[in-house]
């Protein structure tokens, strides 16, 4: 039964279910799909986007994984394990190319601004 009290007849089979269609859910669904999975993305609200729709859309990326790791380590101040920070730092290096590629489907191109991270 769904939230409106109607019976549901549900037969869909998928590899991955993503709950919530904000930025995290959207990216997870695209990533799983591109890796070959059959994906179901579900959203509780009438419209997708979550708080992500209101964000400035700024994405931090890095040119140097070791520098990014040192920056994250300093700014997180011991709150996050090093292996997680290192993985994040590594992914931040490829982020801009990945985003540019992703943006092609809508014919847009992210603008790029370079700054030195705080504390570097
Ligand atoms: C004004 C503003 C500006 C910002 N600017 C930036 C920025 O420039 N750069 C940046 O990196 N971050 C920015 N942020 C922060 C950023 O927007 C959030 O960290 C990010 O959008 C969170 O994404 P999310 O996918 O985790 O959550 P959300 O976008 O909130 O998505 C979660 C989704 O899950 C759905 N959901 C929840 N529970 C269920 C359920 N049980 N079943 C089904 N669906 C469910 C929700 O309805 C929602 O759609 C900004 C935030 C604000 C408010």
**Model confidence pLDDT, tens digit, residues 12-45:** 899 999 999 999 999 999 999 999 999 999 999 9
The whole-number pLDDT of residue 33 equals 97
pLDDT value of position 57: 85
For 1, 44, 45, the CA distances from 4, given in Å and listed in that order, are 8, 12, 13
Residue 52 Cβ inside 6 Å of ligand 1? The answer reads yes
Q: CB of 17 closer than 6 A to ligand 1? A: no
Q: How far apart are CA 83 and CA 69, in angstroms?
A: 10
- Looking at per-residue pLDDT, the higher value among 111 and 26 belongs to 26
Q: What is the pLDDT of residues 63-77, one digit of tens each?
A: 999 999 999 999 999
Is pLDDT at 119 greater than 60 in this prediction?
no
Boundaries of every domain in the chain: 1-55, 58-120
CA distance 28 to 111: 23
Kindly calculate the radius of gyration of the chain based on its CA atoms and give it in whole angstroms: 18
pTM over 0.85: no
Name the nearest CA neighbour of 117 among 69, 81, 78, 54.
69
Q: What is the mean pLDDT of residues 44-64?
A: 92
Q: Whose CA is nearest to atom 15 of ligand 1?
A: 55
Residue nearest atom 48 in ligand 1 by C-alpha distance:
50
Hey, whose CA ends up nearest to atom 49 of ligand 1? 50
């Amino acid at each position: 039964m769904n939230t409106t009290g109607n019976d549901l007849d549900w037969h869909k089979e998928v590899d991955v279910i993503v709950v919530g269609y904000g930025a995290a859910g959207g990216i997870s669904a695209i990533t799983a799909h591109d890796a070959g999975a059959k994906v179901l993305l579900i959203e509780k609200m009438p419209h997708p986007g979550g708080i992500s729709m209101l964000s400035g859309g700024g994405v931090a990326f890095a040119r140097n994984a070791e520098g990014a790791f040192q920056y994250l380590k300093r700014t997180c101040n011991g709150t996050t394990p090093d292996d997680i920070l290192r993985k994040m730092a590594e992914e931040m290096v490829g982020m801009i190319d990945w985003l540019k590629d992703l943006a092609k489907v809508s014919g847009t191109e992210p603008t790029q601004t370079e700054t030195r991270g705080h504390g570097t």
